Chain A
Amino acid sequence: MSFLSYMINGISLGSVYAIIALGYTMVYGIAKMLNFAHGDVIMVGGYAALTMLLNANASPLAAVLVSIVVCTVLGITIEAVAYRPLRAAASPLAVLITAIGVSYLLQNVVLLIFGSNPKNFQSVIPVPDLKLAGGALMITGETIVTIISCIVIMTVLTLFINRTRTGQAMQAVSEDKGAAQLMGINVNQTIALTFAIGSGLAAVAGVLLCSSYPSLSPYTGSMPGIKAFVAAVFGGIGSIPGAMIGGILLGVIEILAKAYISSQLADAIVFAVLIVVLLVKPTGLLGKQIQEKV
């Protein structure tokens, strides 16, 4: 029974990773950049929701919506100010370092406003806990909501990418920017939209993460950010179902390693599994192997 509950916890944590990884993977797929500030957008989302709950006495739903709006605007602004000018830079590393600068900036702005002490985040999820098998197996409301949101987000996003014209435009831009522009697609707008979606998802992930692990500090976002990045690579970066599978696998491995092997070595085990996967399949589980042409 305990194995089952670990599995469920793992899937729940993995769902959060998957939602964060979606942001990473979409941005990578379309802009070919690693957005290291993504984890900090999650943290900003958490603080936005917390402020609404504490200072404005907003309902949980309103808090989540405000948090999504804040993060979306933040994502679009970051892209326009810090990343767009560097899109044609000589080295792809330039934008990576700028992303790190943005990450420091977000952490320190939040640090100045809210202080460095971790804030207690009360769960915004009104769903009651579910007791199964006569109370031997308990599934928290947070877990249920997290898993369901992950599935819903996944489905909607896949439909959006494959069925709408905007989604197709995204695919076209990720395939070939120049050709997409010639077909009349507004590349800048499409990339901005990708950042908007990714950051909006980060806000959702932030609220879910803080509801399950109720402590929020300016550095809350960095470790889940790195883990989600690992999840995205794990599943094959640029692939949306890959991010989902990668995220959930990562969450399950982490929780099981913590439970059965060593809580201190859990991270090391997660990373070791990643290395093994990449050595066997160098482009991740669902990544496309692109043959280099001479």
Chain B
Amino acid sequence: MKKNSKIFRQNLITYGMVIAAFIVVQILQSTGHLSSLFTGLLVPICVYVILAVSLNLVVGISGELSLGHAGFMCVGAFAGAFFTKCTQDTITMVPLRFALAVLIGAIAAAIFGILIGIPVLRLKGDYLAIVTLAFGEIIKNILNVFYIGRDSNGFHMSMKDQFSLGMEADGKMLLGGPQGITGIPKNSSFLAGIILILITLFIVLNLINSRDGRAIMAIRDNRIAATSIGINITKYKLMAFTISAALAGMAGTLYSHNLATLQASKFNFNTSILALVFVVLGGIGNIRGSIIAAVVLTALPEMLRGLSNLRMLIYAIVLIAMMLFNWAPAAIDWRSRLKERLKHSRANGKEAA
């Protein structure tokens, strides 16, 4: 019981942190202290926070390295934007349409999560990583050659080019290959982002502290021991993978409704890697850490914009230095020695006084 209340308190702190950040930003915004640059960053920060938390579910809680998370984000982004484009005239209530788009994005990504997860989760370690990478690239590549249009006769689909759709004169392009989806209404807002972050946290934190979550972590810690006490490895791994994919899809929909044009090439390997950087830097398995890392690392390059050419260089050096500082056994030793010495000198100081 005591342990439960401790977890509850920890979770409350995490939720509170997000809500506090929202309130602070709102106050700053209404008093005009927020630069337009930072205002433009608010939705992307929300997107990356959700992405990082969802990837942490796979990498930290389930213990599998995924290098294709951008693929799920891509599926969610396209499914959500496609839905919005199709129903732009029929559903006029924007919040409802956006909520449905997010739901569609999440479901589409979850379906891909299951389809990819079933074969992929048979593999282990680096092999699993490379297959997720491969799937991420395949999703991006296929979306790049897909053309969908709609006219009075219904939908037309092609994998060659715009003209082979054979549309009537009144036809409208919905998905234009490498051009992607254009003219997406800008429905994302900071409020929507914060709500989606809270939903994500609610799902992930509750999963971690449930019976299922403990089963997932047991598999991570010792696969063989977990099997021997009757935990269904495939089921639980697939569960974590699918939920993570759905959340990434949600992030994707939020992302796509923040841009007027959506292109598949945006969801490349680097995006997957970026999400992984958030997770590892924030602490593998540490949800709160992921949030902080995502916020800091999304804001950092923009804050350094004044340095133009140097900014990515500084980013790279900071990344390497932080990794060495956080993870190198020698650095950890040095830190604990330093802490010890500080404690010692403080104790000595007290004695002297």
Q: CB within 8 Å of B: which residues of A?
A: 28, 34, 36, 82, 85-86, 88-91, 93-94, 96-98, 100-102, 104-105, 107-109, 111-112, 222, 226, 229-230, 233, 237, 262, 264-265, 267-268, 271-272, 274-275, 278-279, 282-284, 292, 294
Give 8 nearest A-B pairs by CB, closest first. Answer: A271-B134, A268-B141, A94-B327, A104-B316, A105-B316, A101-B319, A101-B320, A85-B328
Also in contact, A271 and B137, with CB within 8 A (given A34-B126, A292-B224): yes
Report A-chain residues with C-beta under 8 Å of the C-beta of B21: none
Report B-chain residues with C-beta under 8 Å of the C-beta of A107: 312
- Measured CB to CB, the nearest residue on chain A to B116 is A275
Main secondary structure of the interface of A (DSSP, over half): helix
B323–A97 CB distance below 8 A: yes
Q: Which of B123, B129, B312, B330 is close to A108, meaning CB atoms less than 8 Å apart?
A: B312
Shortest distance between the CB of A151 and any CB in chain B (Å): 26
Cβ-based interface call for B276 (8 A) = yes
- 12 extra A-B contacts, CB within 8 A, seeds A34-B129, A86-B324, A112-B309: A88-B329, A91-B284, A94-B280, A96-B65, A97-B277, A101-B316, A105-B317, A264-B141, A267-B137, A271-B137, A274-B130, A284-B127
- Measured CB to CB, the nearest residue on chain B to A226 is B269
Number of B residues with CB within 8 Å of any CB on chain A: 46
A264–B330 CB distance below 8 A: no
Q: CA A262 – CA B161 in complex, angstroms?
A: 12
Report B-chain residues with C-beta under 8 Å of the C-beta of A89: 327-329
Report A-chain residues with C-beta under 8 Å of the C-beta of B124: 282
Report A-chain residues with C-beta under 8 Å of the C-beta of B327: 86, 89-91, 94, 98
Return 30 A-B CB contacts under 8 Å, by A number.
A82-B320, A85-B330, A85-B331, A86-B323, A89-B329, A91-B327, A93-B276, A93-B280, A94-B326, A97-B276, A97-B319, A98-B319, A98-B323, A100-B319, A102-B320, A104-B315, A104-B316, A105-B317, A230-B130, A237-B126, A262-B145, A264-B145, A265-B142, A267-B141, A271-B137, A271-B141, A272-B138, A274-B131, A274-B134, A278-B127
- Interface flags, B122-149, vs A, CB<8A=1, else 0: 1110110111011101100110110000
Report A-chain residues with C-beta under 8 Å of the C-beta of B144: 264
Report B-chain residues with C-beta under 8 Å of the C-beta of A102: 316, 320
B134–A230 CB distance below 8 A: yes
Q: CA A93 – CA B328 in complex, angstroms?
A: 12
Cβ-based interface call for B59 (8 A) = yes
Shortest distance between the CB of A225 and any CB in chain B (Å): 10
Most buried by A among B65, B123, B133, B327: B327
Q: CA A159 – CA B137 in complex, angstroms?
A: 37
Q: Which of A88, A108, A262 is close to B316, meaning CB atoms less than 8 Å apart?
A: A108
Cβ-based interface call for B310 (8 A) = yes
Shortest distance between the CB of B33 and any CB in chain A (Å): 32
A278–B123 CB distance below 8 A: yes
B324–A98 CB distance below 8 A: yes
Shortest distance between the CB of A202 and any CB in chain B (Å): 19
- Measured CB to CB, the nearest residue on chain B to A97 is B280
Report B-chain residues with C-beta under 8 Å of the C-beta of A91: 280, 284, 327
Q: CA A36 – CA B316 in complex, angstroms?
A: 14
B324–A82 CB distance below 8 A: yes
Report B-chain residues with C-beta under 8 Å of the C-beta of A88: 329
- Measured CB to CB, the nearest residue on chain B to A271 is B134
Report B-chain residues with C-beta under 8 Å of the C-beta of A271: 133-135, 137-138, 141
Shortest distance between the CB of B131 and any CB in chain A (Å): 6
Q: CB within 8 Å of A: which residues of B?
A: 59, 65, 119, 122-124, 126-127, 129-131, 133-135, 137-138, 141-142, 144-145, 223-224, 269, 273, 276-277, 280-281, 284, 309-310, 312-313, 315-317, 319-320, 323-324, 326-331
Most buried by A among B59, B276, B280, B320: B320
Q: Which of B59, B133, B324 is close to A226, meaning CB atoms less than 8 Å apart?
A: B133
A93–B284 CB distance below 8 A: yes
Q: CA A233 – CA B67 in complex, angstroms?
A: 14
Shortest distance between the CB of A148 and any CB in chain B (Å): 30
Q: CA A226 – CA B61 in complex, angstroms?
A: 27
Q: CA A264 – CA B137 in complex, angstroms?
A: 12
Q: CA A101 – CA B316 in complex, angstroms?
A: 5
Also in contact, A109 and B138, with CB within 8 A (given A279-B122, A292-B224): no
- Measured CB to CB, the nearest residue on chain A to B137 is A271
Also in contact, A279 and B309, with CB within 8 A (given A97-B277, A104-B319): no
Shortest distance between the CB of A156 and any CB in chain B (Å): 27
B131–A108 CB distance below 8 A: no
Shortest distance between the CB of B179 and any CB in chain A (Å): 13
Q: CA A274 – CA B323 in complex, angstroms?
A: 31
A233–B145 CB distance below 8 A: no
Report A-chain residues with C-beta under 8 Å of the C-beta of B320: 82, 98, 101-102, 105
Report B-chain residues with C-beta under 8 Å of the C-beta of A112: 309-310, 313
Shortest distance between the CB of B293 and any CB in chain A (Å): 11
Most buried by A among B59, B129, B138: B138
Q: Which of B126, B281, B330, B331 is close to A233, meaning CB atoms less than 8 Å apart?
A: B126
Report B-chain residues with C-beta under 8 Å of the C-beta of A226: 133, 269
Q: CA A101 – CA B323 in complex, angstroms?
A: 9
Shortest distance between the CB of A228 and any CB in chain B (Å): 12
- Measured CB to CB, the nearest residue on chain A to B144 is A264
A294–B224 CB distance below 8 A: yes
Report B-chain residues with C-beta under 8 Å of the C-beta of A229: 130
Also in contact, A268 and B284, with CB within 8 A (given A97-B276, A274-B130, A278-B123): no
